[in-house]
């Protein structure tokens, strides 16, 4: 067996996308989307299913009016925050935010890789108010590298193999990140709910979300630990803050926010450093935290002044525990689980563990020290993933344009 090399630093000619493929948008199914199997039903190709983030797809009834993709067809995400992304299909019904790309007179696998190499250009020209979408004109005029048919097949084989290797390495790093993140969550939960002394006597709190706590800790309802603050901004010129389940309370200016923004922030609620801020609508997701600076938040949020029995930093760790979010969900109101709201009377009914204040401060210091070490390790893993992803993108671009030697076994 020997190796034949093609594409030795010679760029391939380019052809406009419009001459190489047809584009058909998916449609909304007229029948309800179900999560139970049936013989005449097909998977609905959501992004989660296409990216292998879920294994059990939603199903829709087969219908001649729906657009059906086969395994390894080329798809293009037409609408949404990541509009312009090309994906390989699985057999199923093409979603309404996705287009099915059907190449003609070109190897379909090479065409997919060639499109991935031009993806950045398509994404850079997405447009739309609120929800980005692909520009049909930009897509039609994309100049796609077009070597000979044998070269296309060789490049496709090469990229199938090389990207599979890189993808396996990226998955390993992603798994390592998950393990580190889980270790961090367990570390924080144990410190916040059990303290730092592994030999301390424990007692059953009688509260399911808290479990066993050190025997000398107290338990208190939130109504005795904090009080609602409803102070309004006159000018609206204070720093605008936002609250999420991922980052807690942070300045809106530090985030890439594409949501509707009010014309004025006059009348917004004022919060002071060390206040607890709760995103009323998303509390069930864990969107709450203690602010480290003064500012203003949406009038729909609720703000609480923390009393002397709880250290604000300890409170921040406590309310951002996943088990705490589950607990406040029980005290939230609403018909639909995704529309539950946590009002003050609900929060005030939640029971908190209350260690001695000095012990709370020790817990915070220990958590910060250990979390910082884990965060540094996680940052290193993120950097490794970024380098692998960049290597993958560069490899695809160089291979489909003929800028690197591609070996074919013959």
pLDDT digits (tens, 9 = 90+) for 285-340: 999 999 999 999 999 999 999 999 999 999 999 999 999 999 999 999 987 877 89
Residue 93 binned pLDDT confidence (cut-offs 50, 70, 90): very high
Write down the pTM of the prediction.
Answer: 0.77
Query: Would you state the pLDDT for residue 35?
Result: 52
Please give the DSSP secondary-structure letter assigned to residue 48.
H
Residue 3 lies in a domain: no
Coil vs helix vs strand at 29 = coil
The answer to whether residues 342 and 212 belong to one domain is yes
Rounded to 10°, the helix 149-194/357-401 angle is 180
Handedness of CA 231, 232, 234, 236 (dihedral sign): positive
Residues 81-104, mean pLDDT to the nearest whole number: 94
SS (H, E, C) 236-293: CCCCEEEEECCCEEEEHHHCCCCCCCCCCCCCCEEECCCCEEECHHHHHHCCEEECCC
Residue 166 lies in a domain: yes
- pLDDT over 70 (residue 29): yes
The answer to whether residues 177 and 251 belong to one domain is no
Residue 340 near residue 334 (C-beta atoms within 8 A):
yes
Query: Would you state the pLDDT for residue 31?
Result: 63
Residues 79-102, mean pLDDT to the nearest whole number: 94
The answer to whether residues 107 and 154 belong to one domain is no
Beta strands in 74-122 (DSSP E): 74-77, 86-88, 92-94, 98-103
Give, for 126, the enclosing helix (H) or strand (E).
Answer: none
Higher pLDDT, residue 36 or 301: 301
> How far is Cα of residue 69 from the mean position of the Cα atoms in its chain?
26
The answer to whether residues 285 and 406 belong to one domain is no
- pLDDT over 60 (residue 229): yes
Measured distance CA(43)–CA(29) in Å, rounded: 12
The answer to whether residues 247 and 314 belong to one domain is yes
The answer to whether residues 229 and 311 belong to one domain is yes
The answer to whether residues 301 and 313 belong to one domain is yes
Residue 1 binned pLDDT confidence (cut-offs 50, 70, 90): very low
Query: Would you state the pLDDT for residue 61?
Result: 85
Residue 13 lies in a domain: no
Query: What is the total count of domains within the chain?
Result: 3
Measured distance CA(15)–CA(157) in Å, rounded: 21
The answer to whether residues 268 and 172 belong to one domain is no
CATH classification at residue 72: 3.90.220.20
Query: Would you state the pLDDT for residue 303?
Result: 98
The answer to whether residues 241 and 329 belong to one domain is yes
Query: Would you state the pLDDT for residue 256?
Result: 59
Query: Would you state the pLDDT for residue 33?
Result: 60
305-335 burial: b if 16+ Cβ within 10 Å, else e = ebeebbbbbbbbbbbbbebbbebbbebbeee
- pLDDT over 80 (residue 184): yes
Residue finishing a domain among 354, 374, 398: 354
The answer to whether residues 315 and 345 belong to one domain is yes
- pLDDT over 90 (residue 5): no
Residue 278 near residue 302 (C-beta atoms within 8 A):
yes
- pLDDT over 70 (residue 366): yes
The answer to whether residues 279 and 167 belong to one domain is no
- pLDDT over 70 (residue 121): yes
Q: What percent of the chain has pLDDT over 90?
A: 78
Q: Mean of the per-residue pLDDT values for the chain?
A: 91
Residues 378-395, mean pLDDT to the nearest whole number: 97
Please state which of the ranges 54-63, 140-149, 301-310, 382-391 shows the lowest mean pLDDT: 54-63
Residues paired with 74 in a beta bridge: 88, 101
* Residues 230/284/244/345 CA torsion (nearest 10 deg): 10
Residue 189 lies in a domain: no
Query: Would you state the pLDDT for residue 3?
Result: 44
Residues 122-137, mean pLDDT to the nearest whole number: 86
- pLDDT over 80 (residue 197): yes
CB count in 10 Å sphere of residue 108: 17
Residue 16 lies in a domain: no
Measured distance CA(218)–CA(202) in Å, rounded: 12
Residue 191 lies in a domain: no
> How far is Cα of residue 42 from the mean position of the Cα atoms in its chain?
26
The answer to whether residues 310 and 366 belong to one domain is no
Residue 281 lies in a domain: yes
- Domain ranges, residue 85: 21-145
Of the chain, the end-to-end C-alpha distance in Å amounts to 6
- pLDDT over 80 (residue 165): yes
Please state which of the ranges 60-69, 137-146, 378-387 shows the lowest mean pLDDT: 60-69
Residue 14 lies in a domain: no
Residue 409 binned pLDDT confidence (cut-offs 50, 70, 90): very low
């Amino acid at each position: 067996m020997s190796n034949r090399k093609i594409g030795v630093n010679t760029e391939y000619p380019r052809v406009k996308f419009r001459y190489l493929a047809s584009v058909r948008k998916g449609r909304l199914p007229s029948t309800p989307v179900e999560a139970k199997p049936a013989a005449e039903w097909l998977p609905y190709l959501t992004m989660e299913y296409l990216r292998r983030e879920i294994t059990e797809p939603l199903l829709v009834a087969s219908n001649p009016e729906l657009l059906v993709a086969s395994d390894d067809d080329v798809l293009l995400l037409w609408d949404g925050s990541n509009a312009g992304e090309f994906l390989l299909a699985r057999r199923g019904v093409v979603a309404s935010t996705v287009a099915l790309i059907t190449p003609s007179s070109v190897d379909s696998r090479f065409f997919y890789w060639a499109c991935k190499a031009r993806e950045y250009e398509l994404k850079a020209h997405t447009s739309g108010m609120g929800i980005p979408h692909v520009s049909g004109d930009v897509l039609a005029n994309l100049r796609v590298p077009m070597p000979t048919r044998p070269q296309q097949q060789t490049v496709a084989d090469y990229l199938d193999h090389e990207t599979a290797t890189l993808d396996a390495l990226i998955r390993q790093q992603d798994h390592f990140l998950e393990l580190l993140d889980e270790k961090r969550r367990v570390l924080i939960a144990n410190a916040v709910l059990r303290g730092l002394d592994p030999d301390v006597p424990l007692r059953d709190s009688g509260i399911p979300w808290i479990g066993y706590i050190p025997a000398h800790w107290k338990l208190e309802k939130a109504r005795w630990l904090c009080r609602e603050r409803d102070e309004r901004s006159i000018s609206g010129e204070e720093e605008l803050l936002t609250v999420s389940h991922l980052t807690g309370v942070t300045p809106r200016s530090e985030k890439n926010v594409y949501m509707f923004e009010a014309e004025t922030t006059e009348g917004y609620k004022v919060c002071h450093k060390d206040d607890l801020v709760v995103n009323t609508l998303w509390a069930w997701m864990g969107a709450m935290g203690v602010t480290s600076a003064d500012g203003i938040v949406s009038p729909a949020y609720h703000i609480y002044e923390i009393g002397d029995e709880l250290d604000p930093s300890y409170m921040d760790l406590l309310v951002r525990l996943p088990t705490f979010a589950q607990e406040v969900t029980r005290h939230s109101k609403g018909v639909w689980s995704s529309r539950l709201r946590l009002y003050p009377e609900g929060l005030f009914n939640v029971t908190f563990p209350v260690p001695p204040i000095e012990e709370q401060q020790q817990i915070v210091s220990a958590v910060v020290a250990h979390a910082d070490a884990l965060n540094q390790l996680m940052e290193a893993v993120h950097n490794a993933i970024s380098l692998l992803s960049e290597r993958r993108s560069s490899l695809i671009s160089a291979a489909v344009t003929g800028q690197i030697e591609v070996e074919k076994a013959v």
